[in-house]
């Protein structure tokens, strides 16, 4: 019996940044009486992240942009710790 390894597309998928696909006016969750809900879609390739957020369109956009920023920051990683060398005073 021979084993065949399937090629993984993970490496190419992880190279794509997250981005906002849409922010649209929406009905709130069931039982909600307020009308200021927005549905947002964030994607990275073919993988959508769908959510609801309450507020003005501007406040929702700012919040979703913050989420996208954090997701992309985690994706690329943070730079390593800088090592500082102290010199003795002469």
* Per-residue confidence in pLDDT tens, the chain, 90 aa: 445 444 444 455 667 899 999 999 999 888 888 889 999 999 998 889 999 999 999 999 999 999 999 998 887 766 656 666 677 766
pTM, two decimal places: 0.68
Burial class (CB in 10 A: 0-12, 13-18, 19+), 38: buried
CA–CA separation, 48 and 20 (whole Å): 10
62 lies in some domain? yes
Give residue 87's pLDDT: 72
The helix (run of H) or strand (run of E) holding residue 76 is: helix 57-76
Give residue 63's pLDDT: 96
CA–CA separation, 90 and 5 (whole Å): 62
- The count of structural domains within the chain is 1
Give residue 12's pLDDT: 54
5 lies in some domain? no
85 lies in some domain? no
Give residue 6's pLDDT: 43
Alpha carbon 78 to chain centroid, angstroms: 15
């Amino acid at each position: 019996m021979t084993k065949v390894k399937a090629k993984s597309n993970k490496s190419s998928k992880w190279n794509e940044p997250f981005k906002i696909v849409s922010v649209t006016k929406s009905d709130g969750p069931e039982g909600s009486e307020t009308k200021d809900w927005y549905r947002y879609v964030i994607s990275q390739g073919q993988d959508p992240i769908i959510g609801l957020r309450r507020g003005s369109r501007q406040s929702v956009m700012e919040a979703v942009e913050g989420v996208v920023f954090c997701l992309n920051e985690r994706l690329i990683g943070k730079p390593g710790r800088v090592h500082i060398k102290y010199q003795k005073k002469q």
